[in-house]
Homo-oligomer: A and B are copies of this chain.
Amino acid sequence: MRRSIATVCVSGTLDDKLTAAAAAGFDGIELFENDLVVSAWSPAEVRTRCADLGLGIDLYQPFRDFETVDDALLKKNLDRAERKFDVMAELGADTVLVCSSVHPSAVDDDDLAAAQLARLADRAAQRGMRIAYEALAWGRHVSTWDHSWRIVRRADHPALGLCLDSFHVLSREVSPDGIADITRGKIFFLQLADAPRLRMDVLQWSRHHRLFPGQGTFDLPGFVSRALAAGYGGPLSLEVFNDVFRQSDPARTAVDAMRSLTALEDRLGTRRLPAAPTLTGHAFTEFAVDGRSGPELRTALRGLGFTHTGQHRTKPVELWEQNSCRIVLNSAITGPHTPGTASISAFAITSDDPQRSLERAAALSAPAHPNVREPGEAELAAITAPDGTSIFVTHPTANWRADFLSTTTPASSLSTTPTDSLSTTPASSSPRLASTPAGAGAGLLVTDHLGLTQPFDHFDEAGLFYHSVLGLDDVAAEEYAAPFGLMRSRAVAGPNRTVCVALTVALLRRGEWAPAVADPQHVAFATTDIVATAAALTVPVLPVPANYYADLAARFDLDGDFVATLSRHGILYDRDPSGGELLHLYTPVLGGRVFFEIVERRGGYQRFGEPNAPVRMAAQRHRRLTTTPPA
């Protein structure tokens, strides 16, 4: 199907917007009148520019407050419309959006609305144009799709049809089911927007909080499929008013928009993408380190029970392992970098069909780029996530570990077939420490999840990216108050949580007063006995205040000895409504930005201990205050 985007969806002047839409691969645009009004280009120049970029002008919008007026005002409104038709003729656009009136003097009279819209359609038809009538959710008298359809049906004019906007339809209580029964050819235009469910004024909700399909909670596939059932064959066009998209890089927003439509079409079956393969686990997480942060991380990894098992054949890259937990330290940092810092530069996941994973990513505007490698080394192609992290996709049996030379005395695990040791669930036959070199483990078995702070402008883009490109699903979403401002979090995971990424962002973009760790990242490892693990650690654990434990005991009515044990080891605690429990602890911040977490999940606890995040943040701030020498 033809794919279009309204110019209101993205930031910038008309030039910025058209360039972005074309680069992202759109076929057409809806031209929002104000974008034309402020443009230095004449309508004819816009037409030429669009043609040069391969963009059609599929809709001109909006024309407001036309119908159910007295004769004098009707004449004025028809004159006003003629001027718009003049502009449309210059633009080469043939369809105009007419919104149901919000004018205080509009009257509730379907016959009058139908008659006046028919007169407007007559005028349009004379110029080879047509009218797409839309019920605004806050229209004065016409606010539901079925009401607009009754009026259009009554007018019975070939140049008058419906514009159906998923937001206006799905934000109201009237069922969209009947859309499938609309007379063939009478849906002139389909506008698509998703949104989160919010309890607020519908106009404010619409103007500030719309999202691209798949980023909210509306049933877009259900909406579009009903229009398709009614024979709709026009463009799928995005009309999304969103405060963040309005001011972020239009080139990126347009790519995000295109991805949302492609993924929607995949779900609808009107476009076939390579299916998302099953993801089977985290293979490794790579940290970029330098001469100062490298030693800090090495000490921490050793204290967490990791062993430095391998050294890359050709690069300054180290492999550290413990059971199925693997960390790669990469000292070959490229790009801008603050000395002494560390960051998660990449992570690798295993897919049962890596090639198809990469093909799907490419079809969703996330092309993979090959890893730079020497002859004989394993190929690891990487997709770039919205936060800039590289995601390597590899097969569980791929022998990327052969690129590393053993650094341990018994070269044991590296010389065996990698199948077992790369399996991301602990081998059932081997007790906790069996697959790692003797004496090195602290019971960390597998990567539980990654925690990645997202760039403010790209949080919703990130959610859609992980859903559509990797086929992950939401497993948690929270907003909470933290010491330095409100936070949003959203976690995505594959089936059985074999791959899991927790995304966080500040609810408002941070300003100059930002004493928290900037854009923290972390890796959480799972243990089945966090108390034994904690006892085995030789790395300092983030201190947890005594007040926390006093409050915990009161909140959850916990046994005193149990709380004492938690307190002794700096273990935090959470319980979900069905009794699942999380016990977890943190290291202090390393390399200015990263840290590790150890989690024990009991009784099917699925979340991430969000109520404890403020405790962690305050403790990390306290550590910074007490350990950073004064400048």
Task: Pick 23 A–B contacts, CB within 8 A, sort by A.
Answer: A11-B513, A13-B621, A33-B551, A34-B614, A37-B547, A38-B483, A38-B547, A38-B614, A38-B617, A40-B543, A42-B546, A80-B554, A87-B550, A199-B204, A200-B201, A243-B485, A247-B485, A247-B514, A248-B511, A249-B513, A250-B513, A457-B511, A509-B511
Tell which of B37, B247, B543 touches A513, judged by Cβ atoms closer than 8 Å: B247
Complex CA–CA separation, A572 to B322 (angstroms): 69
Is the Cβ of A510 less than 8 Å from the Cβ of B247? yes
CA distance A12 to B516 in the complex (A): 9
A154 at the interface (CB under 8 A from B): no
CA distance in complex: A615, B35 (Å): 9
* Cβ-neighbour of A37 out of B247, B484, B557, B615 (below 8 A): B615
Given the complex, which residues of B lie within 8 Å of A244, measured CB to CB? Answer: 508
Cα separation A481 to B245 with both chains bound (whole Å): 12
Contact flag A39-B246 (CB < 8 Å), given A204-B199, A484-B12, A511-B457? no
Judged by a CB distance under 8 angstroms, whether A518 is at the interface is: no
Q: Does A172 contact B (CB under 8 A)?
A: no
A200-B201, A554-B80 given; A547·B247 CB < 8 A: no
A83 and B550 in contact (CB under 8 A), knowing A12-B484, A200-B199?
yes
B contact residues around A617 at 8 Å (CB): 38
- Name the residue in A38, A39, A546 with the highest tally of chain B Cβ atoms < 10 Å from its Cβ: A38
How many copies of the chain does the oligomer comprise?
Answer: 2
Q: Which of A483, A484, A621, A625 has the most CB of B within 10 A?
A: A483
A477 at the interface (CB under 8 A from B): no
Please, which residue of chain B has its CB at the minimum distance from the CB of A509? B509
Chain B residues near A83 (CB-CB < 8 A): 550, 553-554
Q: Which residues on B sit within 8 Å (CB–CB) of A76? A: 557
A92–B625 Cα distance when bound, in Å, is 27
A514 to chain B: which residues have CB within 8 Å? Answer: 247
With A39-B547, A199-B200 known, 6 other A-B pairs at CB within 8 A are A12-B621, A13-B621, A36-B547, A37-B551, A38-B615, A200-B204
A295 at interface by CB-CB < 8 Å: no
A575 CB → nearest B CB, Å: 16
Query: By the criterion CB–CB under 8 Å, are A618 and B13 in contact?
Result: yes
Q: Mark A537-574, 1 if CB is under 8 A from B, else 0.
A: 00000010111101101100100000000000000000
- How big is chain A's contact interface, by range? 35 or more
CB distance B508 to A509 under 8 Å? yes
A224 CB, nearest partner CB in chain B, Å = 27
A506: Cβ under 8 A from any B Cβ? yes
A440 to chain B: closest CB distance in Å? 33
The chain B residue sitting closest to A80, CB to CB, is B554
**How many Å lie between the Cα of A429 and that of B244 in the bound state?**
54
Q: Which 5 pairs between the two chains have the least Cβ-Cβ distance?
A: A247-B485, A199-B201, A249-B513, A38-B618, A200-B200
Q: Are B201 and A37 in contact (CB under 8 A)?
A: no
Tell me the minimal C-beta distance from A248 to chain B in angstroms: 6
Chain B residues lying within 8 Å of A208, measured Cβ to Cβ, are 486
Within 8 A of B (CB), among A167-219: 198-201, 204, 208
**A456, CB-defined interface residue at 8 Å:** yes
Who on chain B is nearest to A507 by CB?
A: B243
Q: How far is the CB of A38 from chain B (nearest CB, A)?
A: 4
Cβ B486 vs Cβ A40 within 8 A: no
Residue of B nearest to A76 (CB): B557
